[in-house]
Amino acid sequence: MEIFNIENYVFTLLGYNVPLLELVGVVLGICSVYLATRGKAINFLIGIVGMSFLMAFFYQKGMPSMMMLQVILICFCAWGYYNWTKPKKDGEVDSGPQKKVTTLTARKRLYFIIGILSFVGIWGSVMAFTDPNFLGSIFPREGITRLGLFADAFVLIAASTGMYLRTQKKWDSWFIFLSADTMGLLLSLAMGAYFVTLKLAIYWFLDVKGILNWRKEMKENAKN
């Protein structure tokens, strides 16, 4: 379909041809994250549509980990919508009624940090040091360095972890997204994906908004 062709440009901005895939994915992604900062479960449904467009974009752009990330996030979005709207325990329900915002223990935070770094090392090594002819038959590899592949791997693992924690409505998810979006912003800028770069810059500020909003919600739930 022509709509999923990366060369189907909508307009040109500052010399950059903006593909329809990238534009739709960026706009819907921003809407999804904004709604998440407000604690609205519909953020997951909008996210599924936006990530489907970005999945096709990143594949054609030659960024395999970020393409795979969209697949993972789509699955988490489906689970997250169900988990937020159908909390199993009465103690997990807010006045919405939706799942309450909670936070990880210090020990669990450490486990998640160690896990993220470990998986980044493993997946980054697979992408950077395995036979490029083998991987080239699956993903385009042009234009990305080994360092870029490790950065790509970090975005994949950190954002996947952040989305998992968002499905559990954990406050800590926003800090992990903040790190993933920072790395993704730098990588997308280096790869010339300028509209994705703009999206991630907006995400960065929304991550901060999410940290503040969910912290406020946790305090309000503690009073009730």
Helix (H) or strand (E) holding 9: strand 9-13
Whether the predicted pLDDT of 134 surpasses 60: no
Convert the pLDDT of each residue in 80-131 to its tens digit: 999 888 876 644 555 556 788 899 999 999 999 999 999 999 988 887 777 6
pLDDT for position 21: 86
DSSP 37-60: HTT-TTHHHHHHHHHHHHHHHHHH
Domain boundaries, the chain: 2-86+101-223
Ordered DSSP codes for 181-219: HHHHHHHHHHHT-HHHHHHHHHHHHHHHHHHHHHHHHHH
195 or 109, which is more confident? 109
Question: Looking at the predicted structure, is the pLDDT value of residue 133 above 50?
Answer: no
Q: Are 134 and 53 in contact (CB under 8 A)?
A: no
Over the chain, what is the mean pLDDT? 83
Asked if pLDDT for residue 69 goes beyond 50, the answer is yes
Contact 100/94 with Cβ under 8 angstroms? Answer: yes
Mean pLDDT throughout 172-176?
96
Question: What does the block give as tokens for 33?
Answer: 């994250």
